[in-house]
Structure 1
Amino acid sequence: MACPLSAILNPVDGSAQTNPLPATGDDDEVDATISEASTEINYERMPDEEVLGFNTPTKHRPSPPNTAPGTEKFAKRGIIPPVILSPIQGSLYDRRVTTSPTLAPVLPIPPPRNPLHHLADDPPPPSHETNPRRRFSIFNALLNYPELTLEFSKQLEIEDLISLYAISKEFHFLVNGRFTAMILGQAKGKASESSKTFIFRCYKSLCMRDPARRLNESKPDELRFIPSFRWLRMILFREAVVDDILRSLAADGHRVPKQTRLTIKKIWFTIDISDNARRIGLMHNTTFWSSKDLFLATMFFLKLDMRLTHPTAGNGEIGLRKMLLGQRSLSMLAKVLKREEMRTQVDMLRMIVRFNYEPPRHRQMDIMGVPSHEIGKLQYEGWGAKSTKFIQIDELVMREAVKRRLNLQDYYVDMMIYGYINKKTFQDIRTPMPKQEDGIEEDGEDDNSSENEEANSERLRAQHGRKGARRCS
């Protein structure tokens, strides 16, 4: 539909009608159409507001001072251009649509649905492909409740939690506001003892600045340090390594009490200290290292000697135990007990070279594949950064026990026979180990196993006696 010419030419009085536009060509049809359109509309009967809604001539309505630059030549002719192309007023099509008497077609009202057949007439629910705006996500709904979201995150593994934190934008910002609560909740639920032993404040390299930008209480000008995913991954790894150590010892028959798990973690925490002064100061702390911990640590060292050397044919050599405890981590000890590392003599020699080998004439050359800067460095403070030798952890435990006058040498025999002989019946424990997470048997379980074994033997004797009586009869 073409634009009506009344929107282009709007004469108001007769003078405007007697002064048509100058002809730009010899098109008579256009001039006739203009004259017919001007005579059909009676502008005298229209109110002023409706007349001003169209483009009125400039002689009756002067233009404002800030008019468009292209309107002056049209004002000389006696009209204003139909549309001033301005981005504020919109496009030409939109302006014509808004002034048109027929804005949009009226859609027919659909007939009412039959209430008796509403179940059969209901279409199936739209899928996520056809209606993506109305699909429901239980995870997005769960994000509206931060407490439930944190409880939900405790059920995830550490790798899945990190992936979710990296992928989901909503979960990322929700966790950033409660990062410390989330990490400590994960640590308490999955590794409670390790979170209390390996305190995150002692591992600054595994911490991060608070993403919520909370200030430090002691230093108001700095952001506080909070535990990160690296610290959480570290304590979970150490929890698994300690379990592997105890499980490997128990599989070979060297059982230890259940409380030894916490003692081994304290041993690992002491090994992390890189100088003797702080190690000795920590050993003097009776809150951290109690007398019971010193007793269990001594039993653990004794069980390691029994495992790494033959209990009867061995010559009492403790060099292998000292070398494994002199490493920077107890993960090497767990791998050796599981027979994953040091399976050949060459591997053992390489470990000796790294630990305490000192060549008489060192020519800065590699020895058996060990780099020159790693030869004999594990026995010094800072793992080679200083020239003072370490006091090994077993020697620190022995010194502290002597200082406290615990007389642990009186209990060596009890430590050796623990886990092999029942205390009540003084019989060997030959029953297989029960399947437990820690792989450790308690005294009560040993008693029950011996009693069950005696009951089974009595039943077998009674059955054989009955069979012999029947044969004699």
Structure 2
Amino acid sequence: MKGLKRPVDYLDEDEDEDEDQDLETEHYDSYSAFIIASAPRVIGRHRHRLRHWRGPSATKGQDGQKKAEFNIFKAIVRHPNIFFQFAMRLSPDTMMDLYAIDKEFHWRLNKYSTSIIHDHARYHAPDATDIFTWDQFSRLCISDPTLKPMDGRPHLARDAPSLRWTKMVFFRDAVVREILTLLAAEGHRFPRAVKRVLMKYWVLMEVQHQKEREAFVMARAPHYWTDVDIYLFQMFLVKLDLHFSHPIHGRGICGLGHLLLTQKSLTTLRDLLNGSFTICYDRLAEIVLRTYPNEMMNLDDHPWLAPGEDNPLPESELGLLSHEEWDNTKPHMDSGVDHVIREGIRRGLDVQRYYLDFALYGYVDRKTRKNIPFARLYRGRRDMVVAEDGWPTEEEENAQVRKLNERFLGESNHDEEAPVL
């Protein structure tokens, strides 16, 4: 039988090597016949599959010939136009599962990998796909499965986005969404464009050289930092300080926002907001020593922060994030927050004039002058009543200005309209 190993005839050492060849041949044939007769009967794998497969069975048509039942999934995959729309709308987990278990889906996705994977990521996370482009992350790219050449060189396949890149895009989009949602639940609302600003800042956090950070922030292209982006980022800083410095619900002081935005990514800020990362003195001191250089620590007045028994942090990790390539032996590198603030000053934006507007945004409606209810008020108590009056009306403002003028300036201008603050 095919696949059966050839039996071996073992001879005793004392047996004469010149034994008659006919006896040896006869002994070999009889032994082979015994092995073949006693061998198990092997069923082909394809026959075994067909016998136990519970899928749709073939049916007979009017002409008596077997006709396979209609499979809607195969029909969609084989359609030249519907397949792209179908693959683009799959959830990320479903895309991974089908790519792993279905051969035809796997083959067609490889054939159009660059366009399908990019469109799939853009459909589910358009902002993150536009900012975290796949050509920035060479470690998340693969060689083109269809072996299309790079730059006309047939011996070198071009790079193509991989499913690992899509997972990274979806993860970062979810992190930014969660940060804004958690802050909005505390009443700190933001314009919609802040989401893209935080993603741009995430790119800035990953840059590990001073000159590259400066060039990235100074560029005014839409994909880089515009004037509006600088305004919105500093609004985010103000709201973050309001959140951490809240006397009841806050978790720290204003400097905590700058510290968390100087880390390698926004996941630390997300973990602190959702409660998965708790602050204690030892843990916070360790983060501070890793983030800021020794010159800013003032170790003379705070000797317990110096490496020693009270501080188990090794000296090689002190000020790690304030140096290029995150190595304290490299030159100094400013934080991303400092780069954005400095760029706003260089452009002459006068952001300080809008700090009050940043603080009031999302609390009072400028048109109706009514308070905007906070999400916190509706968490546990449904009977909570929100005050309707927010900002004073224009008549009330003018009347208050008149009273202040009469009291401090001794002026009486009841007939003239007072200037509006």
TM-score, normalised to structure 2, is 0.66
Question: Structure 1 residue 276 and structure 2 residue 219: aligned?
Answer: no
Asked whether the equivalents of residues 187 and 362 of structure 2 are also in contact (C-alpha less than 8 Å), the reply is: yes
Counterpart in the other structure of 1:332: 268
Counterpart in the other structure of 2:330: 387
Question: Structure 1 residue 237 and structure 2 residue 171: aligned?
Answer: yes
Counterpart in the other structure of 2:98: 164
**Paired letter, 2:351:** L
**Paired letter, 1:263:** V
**Paired letter, 1:167:** I
CA positional deviation for 1:141? 2.3
TM-aligned CA distance change 1:313 to 1:173, over 3 Å? closer
Q: SS state of the match for residue 270, structure 1?
A: helix
Counterpart in the other structure of 1:415: 358
Tell me the distance in 2 between the aligned counterparts of 1:312 and 1:143. Answer: 56
TM-aligned CA distance change 1:284 to 1:221, over 3 Å? farther
**Which range is displaced more, 151-160 or 274-283?**
151-160
CA positional deviation for 1:207? 1.0
User: How many percent identity over aligned positions?
Assistant: 30
Q: SS state of the match for residue 208, structure 1?
A: strand
CA positional deviation for 1:429? 2.4
Counterpart in the other structure of 2:193: 259
Asked whether the equivalents of residues 366 and 372 of structure 1 are also in contact (C-alpha less than 8 Å), the reply is: no
Tell me the distance in 1 between the aligned counterparts of 2:226 and 2:265. Answer: 23
Q: Which has the higher Rg, Structure 1 or Structure 2?
A: 1
Q: SS state of the match for residue 149, structure 2?
A: coil
Counterpart in the other structure of 1:297: 233
Q: Which runs of 5+ in 1 are unaligned?
A: 1-125, 436-448, 452-473
Tell me the distance in 2 between the aligned counterparts of 1:241 and 1:387. Answer: 30
Asked whether the equivalents of residues 336 and 342 of structure 1 are also in contact (C-alpha less than 8 Å), the reply is: yes
TM-aligned CA distance change 1:385 to 1:425, over 3 Å? same
Q: Which runs of 5+ in 2 are unaligned?
A: 1-52, 60-65, 300-304, 379-386, 390-421
Tell me the distance in 1 between the aligned counterparts of 2:86 and 2:204. Answer: 35
Counterpart in the other structure of 1:320: 256
Q: SS state of the match for residue 142, structure 2?
A: strand
Asked whether the equivalents of residues 248 and 338 of structure 1 are also in contact (C-alpha less than 8 Å), the reply is: yes
1:292-325 Cα shifts (integer Å, max 9, x gaps): 11100110111111111237999x9543112211
Asked whether the equivalents of residues 185 and 374 of structure 2 are also in contact (C-alpha less than 8 Å), the reply is: no
Tell me the distance in 2 between the aligned counterparts of 1:306 and 1:384. Answer: 33
Tell me the distance in 2 between the aligned counterparts of 1:384 and 1:181. Answer: 38
Asked whether the equivalents of residues 188 and 239 of structure 2 are also in contact (C-alpha less than 8 Å), the reply is: yes
CA positional deviation for 1:158? 1.4
**Paired letter, 2:270:** A
**Which range is displaced more, 148-157 or 264-273?**
148-157
CA positional deviation for 1:427? 3.8
**Which range is displaced more, 174-183 or 336-345?**
336-345
CA positional deviation for 1:264? 0.8
Tell me the distance in 2 between the aligned counterparts of 1:170 and 1:424. Answer: 57
1:53-102 Cα shifts (integer Å, max 9, x gaps): xxxxxxxxxxxxxxxxxxxxxxxxxxxxxxxxxxxxxxxxxxxxxxxxxx
Q: SS state of the match for residue 222, structure 1?
A: strand
Question: Structure 1 residue 197 and structure 2 residue 140: aligned?
Answer: no
TM-aligned CA distance change 1:234 to 1:406, over 3 Å? same
**Which range is displaced more, 341-350 or 250-259?**
341-350
CA positional deviation for 1:332? 1.1
1:130-187 Cα shifts (integer Å, max 9, x gaps): 6598344322222221432222222322122112111111111111110001111111
Counterpart in the other structure of 1:217: 151
Tell me the distance in 1 between the aligned counterparts of 2:80 and 2:279. Answer: 50
Instruction: Say which of 118, 137, 148 aligns to 2:82.
Output: 148
Tell me the distance in 2 between the aligned counterparts of 1:380 and 1:159. Answer: 38
Please report the RMSD computed on the Cα atoms of aligned residues, expressed in angstroms. Answer: 3.2
TM-aligned CA distance change 1:352 to 1:140, over 3 Å? same
Q: SS state of the match for residue 143, structure 1?
A: helix
Tell me the distance in 1 between the aligned counterparts of 2:226 and 2:245. Answer: 29
CA positional deviation for 1:385? 6.7
Asked whether the equivalents of residues 307 and 314 of structure 2 are also in contact (C-alpha less than 8 Å), the reply is: no
Q: SS state of the match for residue 320, structure 2?
A: coil
Instruction: Say which of 342, 346, 354 aligns to 2:290.
Output: 354
**Paired letter, 2:89:** Q
Q: SS state of the match for residue 237, structure 1?
A: helix
Counterpart in the other structure of 1:378: 321
Question: Structure 1 residue 428 and structure 2 residue 362: aligned?
Answer: no
**Paired letter, 1:324:** L
Asked whether the equivalents of residues 57 and 69 of structure 2 are also in contact (C-alpha less than 8 Å), the reply is: no
CA positional deviation for 1:248? 1.0
CA positional deviation for 1:344? 3.4
**Paired letter, 1:293:** D
Tell me the distance in 2 between the aligned counterparts of 1:403 and 1:380. Answer: 23
